[in-house]
Amino acid sequence: MTNVKYNPEDPIAAIATPLSPGALAIVRASGKNCVQLVSRVFSRPKALLEAEGNTIVYGWIVERENADKNRGDNRIDEVLVSVFRAPKSFTGEEMCEISCHGGVSVVNAVYNLLIKNGFRPAERGEFTFRAYINGKADLTRAEAVREIIDSKTDASRSHAAGRLSGSLFEEIDGIKTLVTDTLAAIEVDIEYPEDEETIADSFDQNDLVTARDRLQSLADSWKSEKIYQDGAKIVLAGKTNAGKSSLFNALLKEDRSIVSDIEGTTRDWIESWVSFDGIPARLFDTAGLRKTDDVIEARGVELTKDIAATADLMLYLVDSTKGVSAEDIEFVKNNNSIPTVVVFNKIDTSDKQLEFDGAQNSVYISAKKGLGLGELTTLVKKILLGSSQVKSSHTGLGSERQKQSVCEALERVEHALKIAADGSYGLDAVVQDLEDCLDSLGEVTGQVTPDDVLGSIFSHFCVGK
């Protein structure tokens, strides 16, 4: 949190839903005396104060300072107030969630009334931060909240939901148990030494080997998990009339690009998010590659080359009715550092069996008829994930911060096994490695976390979460 003198009991409030016209909205409040403060602006204060946790109270949000002498309290909106009593709430504190009508003016009026009556505006991620400091969630679950909000596909949401349910915490906790048990056994050997010939003989290394393998699996998971979170950049390239815009529309399942038989129709690039079997991707439709005297089209061709050079994957389209040209081969060769799939399009109007020199991956489709799109999607997913895909029975890491701490823990375990095997140091050195490993694992879940790391994590949350 940014406040140096932060008080974790301050009553806070925030608009928890997008501030735009809608049927309903939620204004969220939490902190010491939360229910009492909300009752000041509620038409039925006694009912609210006596409400049990996990119940809902009907009434009006009212402004008493500017009450009409003839009509009484100035009514703002008809609402439902959900009451949560500590510690059985998201933050572990008293909480109220006011469900009001979704008009911008109404939501702002309810929120501003809370601020005038004892609440302060919540900082980014402060509700989740309080859940963390009150022991309602470890850091892996806290970070998973933001992942779910930012998820772009059902698959990325599902991966984040696994971490929110505690899968990563449980895996880290299991590894910590293996290391702790080994550490305890070594300390017994130090306290009561026997005549082992080597350090390796002084304790059972099986648990450490298991811990190392599980840490390695976690570290390897980050590559694919990062793709599910951030998405990939995929560029459609190829000569004019190869069918790039048709494929763009087919993958999006909507007509976003103009499709025409006239060469040079697409003169600039457009992009949209699309899912390749759960992997989110920014898909770029680009200008067709050809030599042209049209200044605008020529600029579009140059942009195509620039965008393709920064892609995570290029889908290079070839018109099957025309075959592979020297220009096609040259363009793919010049971008050989970019993973490429050669897409032979228009197979519904051509029976040619084409080959593309130097192409490691190819697929045959008809963007117009929708043929071969399943095979294309499967191939794209396979290339992007490589060998890093997390099996459904395993958990994965959710942030670069987690990956760094896991890699540090892995390095300490590997070093402990090495020095135990070659006997270059005493048991005290192994103990130090394992203690350092536990510290790194503690940073993943938040048991050991510097303040600046906490600030970085929660500053990326939205207000109200």
Q: Which residue has the tokens 């680009």?
A: 286
User: Is the confidence at residue 262, as pLDDT, over 90?
Assistant: no
**338-393 confidence digits (pLDDT tens):** 899 999 999 988 777 788 877 889 999 998 899 999 999 999 999 998 865 555 44
Please report which confidence band the pLDDT of residue 264 belongs to, taking 50, 70 and 90 as the band edges.
very low
Residues 132 and 446: beta-carbon distance below 8 Å: yes
User: The dihedral of CA 379, 382, 385, 389: what is its sign?
Assistant: positive
pLDDT of residue 61: 96
Residue partners of 109: CB distance under 8 A and separation at least 6: 61, 76, 77
pLDDT of residue 394: 59
By CB neighbour count within 10 A (0-12 exposed, 13-18 middle, 19+ buried), where does 296 fall? Answer: exposed
Enter the pTM of the model.
0.74
Residues 266 and 317: beta-carbon distance below 8 Å: no
Mean pLDDT, residues 255-273 taken together: 60
Please give the helix or strand (H or E) that residue 273 lies within, else none. strand 270-276
User: Is the confidence at residue 441, as pLDDT, over 70?
Assistant: yes
pLDDT of residue 291: 64
Question: Nearest 5 degrees, angle CA 164-CA 167-CA 168?
Answer: 90
d(CA 81, CA 35): 10
User: Is the confidence at residue 114, as pLDDT, over 80?
Assistant: yes
pLDDT of residue 422: 80
Percent with pLDDT over 70 in the chain: 82
User: Is the confidence at residue 150, as pLDDT, over 90?
Assistant: no
pLDDT of residue 442: 92
**387-420 confidence digits (pLDDT tens):** 655 554 458 898 899 999 999 999 999 999 998 8
Residue type, 65: E
Residue type, 207: D
pLDDT of residue 427: 79
**32-82 confidence digits (pLDDT tens):** 999 999 999 999 999 999 999 999 999 999 998 765 555 557 899 999 999
